[in-house]
Structure 1
């Protein structure tokens, strides 16, 4: 169900990183974003524009020595004002993240069941039996075949697309309100990519998640996002409903990104309308 109150508000977010020469390099220059429950907000831009850094700032996962400024409000809580311990309690519960490459976010030496149940027992204080039942339910939710059997298998025994679904299951384990997906389909082929996008769309609609989808691919945005923001040089240069941004862009940089799309993807972007289509029934 779509809400009218923002689940997450980013206001004037800056991030400074120290340089080897002892100076300061400002990576983000005052980012403003608002995420609503039940909506997917696409954050697009070329590599180095600050998209991933924005997502990491929300989770408190910035590089060592980074200094953030501004505000990141999760409902009534300013995440930037929290101690590391308090932020750690929220990370994985209220806000979760899915990374680009599941092979780096999943431990290769631990079974899927071990990784899921550890997460559940740590955050939700479930006993072993309840955690295992919840873990199997989560794998079913992200459409992993034979969930009970899958719990005993290891990451290398799954395809790339299945590993990404498992990473999404872990991110959703504690029922967060906000999910940040950082280039979640970049490492996947086109067919598998479409399946993961359908999954994200369905989970957003069914669970009322507020999703920040970070991607350089405006073609992906045209298939799934409700709202789109475009970043360049650490600043959001354009924000609006998907149809408006992709069919009538106001900023020259947005037009440049659209013009760089391959023919088929560009045609889809030019003809897209708001709201985003229901991808769950697609083949």
Structure 2
């Protein structure tokens, strides 16, 4: 498996203080597709995403494999995983204010991140930072570089956080409830941005959310978790239109309109 293939998780287990949090999780997140990981709070979906990033809970025992670029990420040292995280593996968190430093300008945070991973000089890093802010559709990017997080709206902050995540051109992007902290009016715009970045950059996006309505509008594949296990997975159309597991059926029936959104060209959403 090359980095261009995305991510493959096989038999992933995680135990913490004698309790099994993940119990044999299997999923594939191909490049150029959004793989939705759905489930209620405590289902293990966020722990799965954090383990991909090499950030499992302290003291946990992890088994199975997470294959990326022909390498099992679980066999890497902490130093090796740190080198990948933020570069080839990136994450967007639920609350952008938690991932952005309030006392450092947006430009400072972007260029520091870029220079650390891409080893560019200041001028090159600033040019890349401007390019990234344009890519994530932040208005007036040159002025935005000089501003601080408190000067932006929640939606703009999440766009900036996404920009930092993709600044070093990662292959895998884990998005953990990326719109939960946003107003309903801006959620759709952020989701469209993630979908467009996935398509344009060929990212393997692992979208973690409890909201199956989000999945039904943008995911190519949906994986449903409960109690640390995958209970159902399949194409968006199949999972929404013909759910097989009782828990998935309950989730789908709770949707206001459980018809999947329009199919994108090439059969992808």
TM-score range, shorter chain: over 0.9
Asked if 1:208 is matched to 2:206, the reply is no
Check whether the contact 2:216–2:260 (CA below 8 A) recurs between aligned residues: no
Deviation at 1:278, TM superposition (A): 9.1
Asked if 1:52 is matched to 2:41, the reply is no
Task: Give 1:156's aligned residue.
Answer: 150
Deviation at 1:259, TM superposition (A): 1.9
Equivalent residue of 1:134, what SS? helix
Residues 114-263 of structure 1 mapped to structure 2, 5 A cutoff = 114-261=108-255, 263=256
Task: Give 2:106's aligned residue.
Answer: 112
Q: Following the alignment from structure 1 to structure 2, what is the Cα–Cα distance between the partners of residues 32 and 152?
A: 44
Deviation at 1:272, TM superposition (A): 3.8
Q: Following the alignment from structure 2 to structure 1, what is the Cα–Cα distance between the partners of residues 60 and 71?
A: 21
Q: Following the alignment from structure 1 to structure 2, what is the Cα–Cα distance between the partners of residues 272 and 141?
A: 25
Task: Give 2:69's aligned residue.
Answer: 75
Structure 1's unaligned 5+ residue stretches are 19-23
Q: Following the alignment from structure 2 to structure 1, what is the Cα–Cα distance between the partners of residues 168 and 27?
A: 24
Q: Following the alignment from structure 1 to structure 2, what is the Cα–Cα distance between the partners of residues 59 and 12?
A: 17
Asked if 1:15 is matched to 2:4, the reply is no
Check whether the contact 1:247–1:272 (CA below 8 A) recurs between aligned residues: no
Deviation at 1:75, TM superposition (A): 2.2
Task: Give 1:86's aligned residue.
Answer: 80
Deviation at 1:274, TM superposition (A): 4.5
Q: Following the alignment from structure 1 to structure 2, what is the Cα–Cα distance between the partners of residues 14 and 250?
A: 24
Q: Following the alignment from structure 1 to structure 2, what is the Cα–Cα distance between the partners of residues 141 and 270?
A: 31
Runs of 4+ in 1 over 6 A off after TM superposition: 276-279
Q: Following the alignment from structure 1 to structure 2, what is the Cα–Cα distance between the partners of residues 278 and 42?
A: 13
Deviation at 1:6, TM superposition (A): 3.3
Q: Following the alignment from structure 1 to structure 2, what is the Cα–Cα distance between the partners of residues 238 and 105?
A: 32
Equivalent residue of 1:195, what SS? helix
Deviation at 1:34, TM superposition (A): 0.4
Check whether the contact 1:185–1:196 (CA below 8 A) recurs between aligned residues: yes
Q: Following the alignment from structure 1 to structure 2, what is the Cα–Cα distance between the partners of residues 16 and 278?
A: 36
Deviation at 1:61, TM superposition (A): 1.0
Change (3 A) 1:231 1:31: same
Asked if 1:97 is matched to 2:91, the reply is yes
Structure 2's unaligned 5+ residue stretches are none
Check whether the contact 2:220–2:268 (CA below 8 A) recurs between aligned residues: no
Deviation at 1:275, TM superposition (A): 4.7
Task: Give 1:21's aligned residue.
Answer: none
Equivalent residue of 1:151, what SS? helix
Equivalent residue of 2:179, what SS? coil
Check whether the contact 1:228–1:242 (CA below 8 A) recurs between aligned residues: yes
Change (3 A) 1:165 1:46: same
Change (3 A) 1:150 1:45: same
Deviation at 1:271, TM superposition (A): 4.6
State the TM-score, normalizing by the size of structure 2: 0.95
